[in-house]
Structure 1
Amino acid sequence: MSTESAAEIAVRRSVSVPLDPARAFALFTTRISEFWGEHSIGESPMAAVVIEPRAGGRWFERGTDGTETPWGRVAVWEPPGRLVLVWQIGFDWAYDPALETEVEIDFEEQGPGRTRLVLVHRHVERYGEHTASMRALFESPDAWAATLDRYAALAG
């Protein structure tokens, strides 16, 4: 039996937006439904994505029928600079309370009225035998890159 742990696997993406960090953070956390896209795990069509504004808050989708499907939780809430979300969606696209990967978003000031958003989805190795396929999926153009592109478009 091996005592070595798998090396941390992370997916990194970034985008620059014409907003100061406070406005960039607020746009990301309060209007996520507007740029998230079609990625949904709920049984009814998705009406909204919700990030409760506090450490320990919930991260979930609300269906058009009012049902709430958890995605994870807020681990760190430090406006305007940092947000860490615990992603608990399994390889089968269902909520898995035993799985914890992290999505850290840093909002770095690049100058007056400009912010670089850096997203790191870490601990992908926790998918075990599904690590390679999940990493490939998260790195694909239709995943985090597309989400951040839609965010940047909304930011103006």
Structure 2
Amino acid sequence: MTETAVNRSVVIDAPVEHAFKVFTERFGDFKPREHNLLGAPIAETVFEARAGGSIYDRAEDGTECRWGRVLVYEPPSRVVFSWDIGVQWQIEADTANASEVEVRFVEESPSRTRVELEHRHIDRHGPGWQSLAEAVGNDQGWPLYLDRYVALFG
């Protein structure tokens, strides 16, 4: 049985405040540009760092695709955002069908932070949700995002 949540974690050699700041302020620096629902190449990904903010891609032609909503913003300990992308890799029209991603920043020492990511309630996406869970959990999903995030500290 496929789990309704995907959990991944990484350890960053940085203070918790810096790890949080890089995740939220530089999200577009590690989100794969090839993960694109727009009809043109992505120019930037915007993460509005506040509860009620949006996460969206802006294409080189100026079009935008809002694919997430910031639900909780509690620096430097956690951020929660919606995943408004359905099983057909299109924007989920009904936000009640969206899953959510919680990212926790746990201080292991003054210069070391464990970043715990949980993509949960994937079954809210309805029929076919298992394929979405497998996609975000495989090497081209959250592990790719987190590998690129870790590389920003290298």
Are residue 30 (structure 1) and residue 25 (structure 2) matched? yes
- Give the whole-Å Cα distance in 2 for the aligned partners of 1:67 and 1:151: 25
TM-score normalised to structure 1 length: 0.91
Whether the 8 Å CA contact 1:107–1:116 is kept in 2: the answer is yes
Is 1:44 the counterpart of 2:40 in the alignment? Answer: yes
1:12 equivalent to 2:10? Answer no
TM-score w.r.t. the length of structure 2 is: 0.92
Residues paired across the two proteins, number: 150
Identity of aligned residues (%): 44
Rounded Cα–Cα distance in structure 2 between residues aligned with 1:97 and 1:132:
19
> Which stretch of the first structure deviates more once superposed, 130-139 or 13-22?
130-139
Find the residue that maps to 1:155 and give its secondary structure: coil
Aligned to 1:106, what secondary structure does the other structure show?
Answer: strand
SS at 2:36 equivalent: coil
1:148 is matched with 146
Structure 2 unaligned runs (5+)? Answer: none
Contact 1:109 1:116 in 2 (8 A): yes
1:112 pairs, out of 110, 113, 123, with 110
- Residue identity in the other structure for 2:106: E
In structure 2, C-alpha distance between the alignment counterparts of 1:95 and 1:140, rounded to whole Å: 21
Out of 130, 133, 147, the residue aligned to residue 132 of structure 1 is 130
Q: Give the 3-state SS of the residue equivalent to 1:120 in structure 2.
A: strand
Contact 2:16 2:110 in 1 (8 A): no
The structural deviation recorded for 1:106 is 0.3
Structure 2 contact 87–125 (Cα < 8 Å) conserved: yes
Tell me how far apart the structure 2 counterparts of residues 13 and 68 of structure 1 sit (CA, whole Å): 28
- 1: CA distance between counterparts of 2:133 and 2:48? 27
Measured on the aligned residues, the alpha-carbon RMSD in Å equals: 1.4
Show structure 1 runs of 5+ residues with no match: 1-7
